[in-house]
Structure 1
Amino acid sequence: MNNNTSVLTQKFYDRAVIVQILVGAFLCINSMLIATFFTKDIFYTNMRYILFANALFSDCINLITTNVLLLLVSFSFPLQTWSCLFFFILSSMYNYVTPLTLTAMSLERYVAICMPLRHAELCTAGTALQVVLVIHSLSIIPSTVVLIIFFSSVAVSFFKQYALCTAQVFISHRWQDHVRSGVSQFYFLVMCVLIAFSYVQIMKVAKAASGENKESTRKGLRTVILHAFQLLLCLIQLWTPFIEAAVLQIDLNLYVNVRYFNYICLNLAPRCLSPLIYGLRDEAFLVTLKHYMLCGLSKTN
């Protein structure tokens, strides 16, 4: 029995080390990209790059909060419910910020390619900041709905209790799960429709374009495709709390294994694509990043 416990504990430690290495690497990369964003006014006055920076910031917050929660659950470390409430709001909110930002970035590409004459008018820095505010406002709604229902059904003394910090702590009735599921599905449907709309419209322009315009349009189309794949992973992640809640009722060890798998494949994976899509594929951003990474030894225009 002790031997099995020792093996299980060692497995948890090994997983924790792997996760910390991955999270640390992604946070370092994202931090360098965010620092690069503030080096030139062409970046922080451009809607495309402002949305990109918002996605990077969202990914950093999400990685930190979910990593803390993963470690707490993996090592069965309980928290007081009021402390768990803070992590729940942050993780729930930033689960939605990234996919909503990806949707906004796809729409920006749609305007740039399908409405080029109005792009400068519609996609300003001021508009970008308004969009970021709307994104965060929409992202807080799902957790707010869950918490309003929850607060109306529990006593104040509940927040002094200790429990494993999972989203299921704030679900006291099965119908509350259905409400949370309905909100997630609604967001899923709207974002899928907007991404598909952007793709179809850009595809139409790509067929009619020629020369340099055709190459530019194809690049925009590839960007939207990458966003769609990244968005798919993020949207699948919106379903993971329901899967994990069902598994938690069966077995705690199985729950920890499923949570670990979901975290690696559906949390870390889509967030490592953001630097690839805009940080490394964008020539202006890549040149500036290399310039400052090499302490000014590489040339930049």
Structure 2
Amino acid sequence: MNSTVPVDSLNEALTKNLISFTLSFIINCINGAFVYIFCKSEVFQRDPRYVLYIHLVINDMIMLTASVTLQILTYTVRLSFAPCCIMLLILVTTNKNSPLNLAGMAVERYIAVCRPLHHTQICTVQWAYTLIALMWGVSFIPAISNVIILLITRPLIVFSKNILCFPSLTYNTSHHKTQNVVVEVLLCSFVFLTLIVTYLNVLCAAQAASASIQASARNARNTILLHGVQLLICMLSYTSPFINLTLVTAWPRERTKIFFATFLLTNVLPRLLSPLIYGVRDKKFSSQIRMHFCSKCRKSVVKRTHLKGES
């Protein structure tokens, strides 16, 4: 969620918007392939692990679309207060959803290894959808709180004006800054603690388990470690203000280029890396991808070859 006032030339603005749009389109197409695989297979739809995973993918697609849309709008049109708040509600809520989703996936792996007899009873598809609903509710609270604080602290005339729609520019009171710090610290602490506790418990279970169960425990342990990597990728968006401040202090004339580069590195690219790492690593998902898309590619090649032979 970058926050820059665009002062670029027309060519620079067009180039940046084109790069952002193209990257977001490609990333959403790749992530959309994972959603397509999930929807085509009932095996995935009956597994809470994959329900949570595909929610992470869809959430990242929504967040990427909202983030890039806001960036493009800053170069084209200023929004009135109401549509800006709706866009920011979506952006802030989905931004908080990603780490919570990773925590939920880690808990599911912990139950599968450390409470295997209860796994099928606790971790049902209904449980996964209930957890997703809870995530959205928890993430929506700080997002709507930002709007409420703005309504309380700003004069009514402000809401009739068009504004530059970025979180740090729209929500710029001291109350907003305090709330953001508190929410981010609590959120990151909760998710990190969840990952650490589940990892240590799975590690202990792997050491105490029989040889037949150790392989499953080892996979679960590696999966939770992977969630830690995914969490660090998701947290990159929180580091962009510090990166911007450091680099702009050193190179003030390159301000807009620095902001754009950090926007791509901390907001756009992580929306691809986080789902892609997990989806490609998972054997079931990767096999389904090969089966669906590689088979279609082969059929397409065979069809073109057949048509050339007839001609």
The alpha carbon displacement at 1:244 in A equals 6.6
Please list the CA deviations of residues 145-178 of structure 1 after superposition, one character each: whole Å capped at 9, or x if unmatched.
Answer: 2111111122333222122111134335323311
Higher relative contact order (CA 8 A, sep 6+): 2
Q: Contact conserved, 1:16 with 1:71, CA < 8 A, in 2?
A: yes
Name the counterpart of 2:55. 54
The alpha carbon displacement at 1:198 in A equals 1.2
The alpha carbon displacement at 1:284 in A equals 1.8
The alpha carbon displacement at 1:241 in A equals 6.0
Q: Which amino acid aligns with 1:19?
A: S
Q: Which amino acid aligns with 1:43?
A: F
- Mean alpha-carbon deviation: is it higher for 139-148 or for 277-286? 277-286
Q: Contact conserved, 1:291 with 1:297, CA < 8 A, in 2?
A: no
Name the counterpart of 2:196. 196
Q: Which amino acid aligns with 1:138?
A: V
Give, in whole Å, the separation in 1 of the partners of 2:106 and 2:132. Answer: 14
Please list the CA deviations of residues 72-113 of structure 1 after superposition, one character each: whole Å capped at 9, or x if unmatched.
Answer: 33x364222222111111100100111111110011111111
Please list the CA deviations of residues 23-78 of structure 1 after superposition, one character each: whole Å capped at 9, or x if unmatched.
Answer: 111111111111111112211111101001111110110110001112233x3642
Give, in whole Å, the separation in 2 of the partners of 1:24 and 1:194. Answer: 33
User: Residues 146, 211 of structure 1: CA spacing in aligned structure 2 closer, same or farther, 3 A cutoff?
Assistant: same
Name the counterpart of 1:95. 95
User: Residues 254, 209 of structure 1: CA spacing in aligned structure 2 closer, same or farther, 3 A cutoff?
Assistant: farther
Give, in whole Å, the separation in 2 of the partners of 1:232 and 1:97. Answer: 14
User: Residues 152, 255 of structure 1: CA spacing in aligned structure 2 closer, same or farther, 3 A cutoff?
Assistant: farther
> Is 1:129 the counterpart of 2:129 in the alignment?
yes
- The alignment's TM-score, normalised by the length of structure 1, stands at 0.86
- Mean alpha-carbon deviation: is it higher for 157-166 or for 88-97? 157-166
Name the counterpart of 1:67. 68
Question: What SS is found at the alignment partner of 1:38?
Answer: helix
Identity value in percent: 25
Q: Contact conserved, 1:78 with 1:162, CA < 8 A, in 2?
A: yes
Name the counterpart of 2:287. 287
The alpha carbon displacement at 1:143 in A equals 1.1
> How do residues 16-35 of structure 1 correspond to structure 2 at under 5 angstroms?
16-35=17-36
Give, in whole Å, the separation in 2 of the partners of 1:176 and 1:274. Answer: 28
> Is 1:115 the counterpart of 2:89 in the alignment?
no
Where does structure 1 lack aligned partners over 5 or more consecutive residues?
Answer: 1-5
Name the counterpart of 1:221. 221
Q: Give the aligned length.
A: 292
Name the counterpart of 1:3. none
- Mean alpha-carbon deviation: is it higher for 220-229 or for 60-69? 220-229
Q: Contact conserved, 2:8 with 2:256, CA < 8 A, in 1?
A: no
CA RMSD after TM alignment: 3.0
- Mean alpha-carbon deviation: is it higher for 278-287 or for 102-111? 278-287
Q: Which amino acid aligns with 1:145?
A: S
> Is 1:170 the counterpart of 2:166 in the alignment?
no
User: Residues 115, 273 of structure 1: CA spacing in aligned structure 2 closer, same or farther, 3 A cutoff?
Assistant: farther
Q: Contact conserved, 1:70 with 1:260, CA < 8 A, in 2?
A: no
Please list the CA deviations of residues 104-136 of structure 1 after superposition, one character each: whole Å capped at 9, or x if unmatched.
Answer: 001111111111111111100110110010010
The structure having more radius of gyration, on CA atoms, is 2
The alpha carbon displacement at 1:242 in A equals 7.9
Give, in whole Å, the separation in 2 of the partners of 1:273 and 1:114. Answer: 29
Q: Which amino acid aligns with 1:28?
A: C
Question: What SS is found at the alignment partner of 2:96?
Answer: helix
Question: What SS is found at the alignment partner of 1:152?
Answer: helix
Give, in whole Å, the separation in 1 of the partners of 2:257 and 2:38. Answer: 37
- Mean alpha-carbon deviation: is it higher for 13-22 or for 60-69? 13-22
Q: Contact conserved, 1:146 with 1:170, CA < 8 A, in 2?
A: no
Q: Contact conserved, 1:147 with 1:170, CA < 8 A, in 2?
A: no
Q: Contact conserved, 2:237 with 2:266, CA < 8 A, in 1?
A: yes
Question: What SS is found at the alignment partner of 2:267?
Answer: helix
The alpha carbon displacement at 1:9 in A equals 3.8
User: Residues 281, 42 of structure 1: CA spacing in aligned structure 2 closer, same or farther, 3 A cutoff?
Assistant: same
Give, in whole Å, the separation in 1 of the partners of 2:102 and 2:232. Answer: 10
Q: Contact conserved, 2:243 with 2:262, CA < 8 A, in 1?
A: no
Q: Contact conserved, 2:108 with 2:123, CA < 8 A, in 1?
A: yes
The alpha carbon displacement at 1:19 in A equals 2.2
User: Residues 64, 288 of structure 1: CA spacing in aligned structure 2 closer, same or farther, 3 A cutoff?
Assistant: same
Q: Contact conserved, 2:63 with 2:95, CA < 8 A, in 1?
A: yes
User: Residues 167, 7 of structure 1: CA spacing in aligned structure 2 closer, same or farther, 3 A cutoff?
Assistant: closer
Name the counterpart of 1:147. 147
Where does structure 2 lack aligned partners over 5 or more consecutive residues?
Answer: 1-6, 300-311
Give, in whole Å, the separation in 2 of the partners of 1:81 and 1:7. Answer: 24
